[in-house]
């Protein structure tokens, strides 16, 4: 049985994107590749305590799943796919107990291959996750080509460089035509970021605005 480095496990409402307001168990895994890759999200990341690969505590898959009591489990980080073997086992175990699994990733790592047989999202599915949110990061907003056709939601954070982010969102939406595009203001930039994000969604009505309601409500 695999073990994973876990920063925290908690129950809350999903605060962002399509599933906003839905109760989930969040499993935050340790380790992030953003600093090593020079991704500029490190300027406004709100979970820097998850960056170090040795953060948190080591837990096996059964111990993690004993903490999951809600119908949906969200794997987040850091970058969860840095611990891909353990993540695959968590997904398989979750599906065996009827729990849906959401993944939040920056998209820089290739997706894991689902098992040939056994638990999975759909018969013959290319990924076992039930919902995949890819949040590409500046400056390049790179997404590994392996995610083609597997992304359910693209989340693009809007900071002061709205023109760069807008161009990236348009490129990514074209590359992943089946994905919902969520435009999210960078929380620390205040009203200016909100106004820019709203204007961008108004000019692209097929997209939607994502707000970090957990911060607005003061919940985890």
pLDDT band (50, 70, 90) for residue 139: very high
Task: Taking residues 145-169, report their average pLDDT.
Answer: 94
Is residue 118's pLDDT more than 60? no
Q: State residue 124's pLDDT score.
A: 46
Domains assigned to the chain: 3-217 (3.20.20.70)
Average pLDDT taken over every residue of the chain: 91
Q: Identify whether the C-beta of residue 6 lies closer than 8 Å to the C-beta of residue 57.
A: yes
Q: Identify whether the C-beta of residue 197 lies closer than 8 Å to the C-beta of residue 207.
A: no
Phi, psi of 51 (to 5 degrees): -70, -40
Q: State residue 116's pLDDT score.
A: 43
The model's pTM:
0.92
Is residue 128's pLDDT more than 50? yes
Q: Identify whether the C-beta of residue 132 lies closer than 8 Å to the C-beta of residue 101.
A: no
* Residue-wise pLDDT tens digits, 12-24: 999 999 999 999 9
Ordered strands of the 180-185 beta sheet: 57-60, 3-13, 23-29, 72-76, 100-105, 131-134, 153-158, 180-185, 208-209
pLDDT band (50, 70, 90) for residue 176: very high
Q: Token pair for residue 163?
A: 């023109």
List Cα–Cα distances, 21 to 17, 72, 173, 217, in angstroms: 9, 12, 24, 11
Query: Positive or negative, the Cα torsion across 89, 122, 171, 133?
Result: negative
Question: Which of 58-62, 113-117, 126-130, 193-197 holds the top average pLDDT?
Answer: 58-62
Question: Which of 126-130, 172-176, 210-214 holds the top average pLDDT?
Answer: 172-176
């Amino acid at each position: 049985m695999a073990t994973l480095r876990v920063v925290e496990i908690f129950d809350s409402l999903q605060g962002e994107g399509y599933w906003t307001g839905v109760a989930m168990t969040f499993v935050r895994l340790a380790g992030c590749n953003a600093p090593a890759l020079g991704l500029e999200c490190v300027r406004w990341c709100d979970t820097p305590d998850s960056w170090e690969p040795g953060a948190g505590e080591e837990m096996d898959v059964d111990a993690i799943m004993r903490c999951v009591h809600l119908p949906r489990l969200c794997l987040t980080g850091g970058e969860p796919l840095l611990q891909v073997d353990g993540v695959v086992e968590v997904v398989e175990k979750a599906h065996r107990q009827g729990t849906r699994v959401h993944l939040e990733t920056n998209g820089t790592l290739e997706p894991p291959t689902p098992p040939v047989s056994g638990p999975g999202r759909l018969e013959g599915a290319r990924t076992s996750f039930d919902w995949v949110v890819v949040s590409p990061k500046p400056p390049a907003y790179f997404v590994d080509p392996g995610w083609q056709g597997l992304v359910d939601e693209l989340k693009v954070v809007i900071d002061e460089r709205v023109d760069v982010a807008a161009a990236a969102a348009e490129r990514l939406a074209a590359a992943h035509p089946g994905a919902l595009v969520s435009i999210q203001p960078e929380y620390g930039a205040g009203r200016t970021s909100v106004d820019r994000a709203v204007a961008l969604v108004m000019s692209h009505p097929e997209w939607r605005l994502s707000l970090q309601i957990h911060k607005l409500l003061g919940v985890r």
